Structure 1
């Protein structure tokens, strides 16, 4: 009896500081719920420095309580917790709220600021924009701020956030074009900025100027409604002046110009931008030049980057350029990624290889589908210097087996003289998988079988060449199962099909795959993962 009671009380005997730390990982509703465990736990929640309120935990439609009553219960709960909390310095205050009671929201934010909150995370899904209290803009303790939806930023004359290091602005509405820059001007140690925009945010020009900024992410998609004050002579623009920036990510399908000052510290960049040449060519302000030019200019401004990722959408925009534009030379770049690319995007590969003399790693992932399929790949007239001197790693993901893909693979293997590793991941649609193994149509692999071994490649490249041919044309040999040893099951699921592999000690035992019908393609991610597990057990 004594031993049982001792083991049962071992957690309760921990110090208050440790118990409060454990409770800080729970939503505040559940942390307060531990007060019923015993007298020891009754008031512990009041010392937890992290407050996480989310009305979604209260708005459970399965309960018999009316919606308005549940909202009132949530508001009373937040009021009660803030009233009884003994924390004088809140580490994190998170609020997820969907009701239109603006007075309550304003009051809760003020209380958090008065208690020297360090991280403020607001996610408001309400009908009207909430204005932040004036004390927010001069809070000396804020380190992380995340503002999402239904917030209206009217920046005062004085902004001073001396401790703020991370700022996230998602679907926020601004008072004018200068709002973001006026806010940034009062953040002397800001290191990370994330801006997720909507068309109706009152920002024609996003101006990001901050000398301490190291990470910048910009997302800008169309919402289908357009700007309420849209004018023919107005274009969306992005301006960046951050000399210490190390990471830049731009996903932007609406802006027409990118004015980026030199970024001498840039290490990694992700560019996913789309521009419609027909729309721009009809504008009276283009001067006869397609607006793909700004994308080339953007690449020129980040030409000292070490790792560059470009999407198929970006490459499509580059392909329609009118005028004398060419790629800059990426002297520092050692890693290049083409992501979600389609057929004609491969034609840009030689240009980038020539422009990247010190490239060491090349990653190509197919998946972006454009309407036309090229008959072949445009082979470079001269072998790029990086293939001869530096390229050590090549990875091609989700290859289908089109002629232009195979021609590019053959060229890379033939000319990459210092290549150490080449990895090819085949797309599911390129093979007909059966339970007993993989059955490949001989007509589909004839071109691969007929590949001749290049005469001018070194031993490592030659070995890789033959191994790739073997992997692509030969079905795997299945081993009989040994029921005395451990089985390993690996599975994968997409909205095209599912696949399961059974193996022992790295040797294949059995396969199973299934092409999904239209009904199953509509499964959610969770249902799809569950379905493939069920099918794996059945087979």
Structure 2
């Protein structure tokens, strides 16, 4: 909704005041700066009095000051879902209470300090779903997520310049880290983790991976210098998507060596070098990972460039994968990729030796 007409304000006033329902199930707002804070406070307070179960509050005017919501919202004992965008929590008085809250989305929310963000999460004893998009100046240096009940966590710090993330979430099943932080630290092994999406630029990737050993599906996009956690085995991993935008393959080989059930491998240049291919070479390992020889069944390579480095890896995988059923290659979707280049890629791949007689080669 756009609150750019007095008529709209009167409509919301009447709708809330005349409602006779014993419980207000859901209230969604998309507002701009022409909506006064006085109106917003009245609407939210009225909704809270009606036993509000879900609030989705999206303040759209990004260049203005973030909106402040009434204190009564933060002691609303009926809330199950709370989604806030461009809201300030600097004036919230703690402790707060969200005894029934299961889903919390904080999108470009401003806090008072590190402690206020931690206190907010500690007030959600049954929280299962947390979506957090960090603002550049949200007043938090170390964001602590200490939530034993949490099952799904999406963390986006791509707009935050200097941040730490500290996690203790033993019940987590799904994790997404899209993060430009200096440090991400996980303090507790996550035995319930099923799927993880790790796209980070911090170099302590081994500290992250060692606590994800139970994962079944993993997307991994990390810096070149990232190390594999010593002594860790990914016993449950069946699908790995590996980002190829960096220039070294050591971590990929380590993942293959330590993932005994890996059946599906997807390679994808999710971050582009630009027009030119990477210049670094790839050294073929002395020993072939057993997973590659005896387990891997599917290979999918998106944004394949066909350069020497990529061709060397494709040669290695196709040659040594004895159980491979299908290998699919999709060329880089870029204006510089001509039909002639595609034909050369197809020819090169078709001539490669295949360790599996039943392997079907697909080129799109």
TM range (shorter): 0.7 to 0.9
For the structure 1 residues 358 and 262, does the alpha-carbon distance in structure 2 shift closer, same or farther, using more than 3 Å as the test? same
Among candidates 177, 184, 195, match of residue 250 of structure 1 = 177
- 1:237-281 per-residue CA deviation (whole Å, 9 max, x = no partner) reads 111111111011111113334243211111111111124xxxxxx
Structure 2 unaligned residues grouped into runs of 5+: none
For the structure 1 residues 190 and 152, does the alpha-carbon distance in structure 2 shift closer, same or farther, using more than 3 Å as the test? same
Among candidates 315, 334, 350, match of residue 223 of structure 2 = 315
1 or 2, which has the higher helix percentage? 1
Distance 2:342 2:164 in 1: 51
Matches within 5 A, 1:412-427: 412-427=317-332
For the structure 1 residues 75 and 317, does the alpha-carbon distance in structure 2 shift closer, same or farther, using more than 3 Å as the test? farther
Report the Cα offset of residue 107 of structure 1.
Answer: 0.7
Contact 2:247 2:280 in 1 (8 A): no
For the structure 1 residues 153 and 345, does the alpha-carbon distance in structure 2 shift closer, same or farther, using more than 3 Å as the test? farther
Among candidates 23, 28, 32, match of residue 98 of structure 1 = 32
Contact 2:173 2:194 in 1 (8 A): yes
Contact 2:85 2:106 in 1 (8 A): yes
Among candidates 289, 306, 310, match of residue 401 of structure 1 = 306
Contact 2:325 2:356 in 1 (8 A): no
- 1:333-368 per-residue CA deviation (whole Å, 9 max, x = no partner) reads 2211113x2261445322221232321211111242
Distance 2:263 2:234 in 1: 12
Contact 2:300 2:329 in 1 (8 A): yes
Map of 2:251 onto structure 1: 348
CA RMSD of aligned residues (A): 2.7
Greater Rg by CA: 1
Task: Output the TM-score relative to the length of structure 1.
Answer: 0.61
Distance 1:270 1:452 in 2: 32
Q: 170-179 or 417-426: which moved more?
A: 417-426
Distance 1:452 1:384 in 2: 19
Distance 2:190 2:229 in 1: 21
Contact 1:130 1:150 in 2 (8 A): yes
Task: Output the TM-score relative to the length of structure 2.
Answer: 0.88
For the structure 1 residues 175 and 444, does the alpha-carbon distance in structure 2 shift closer, same or farther, using more than 3 Å as the test? closer
Distance 1:458 1:441 in 2: 24
Matches within 5 A, 1:112-191: 112-126=47-61, 127-191=64-128
- Aligned residue pairs, count: 358
Matches within 5 A, 1:431-442: 432-433=338-339
Map of 2:17 onto structure 1: 83
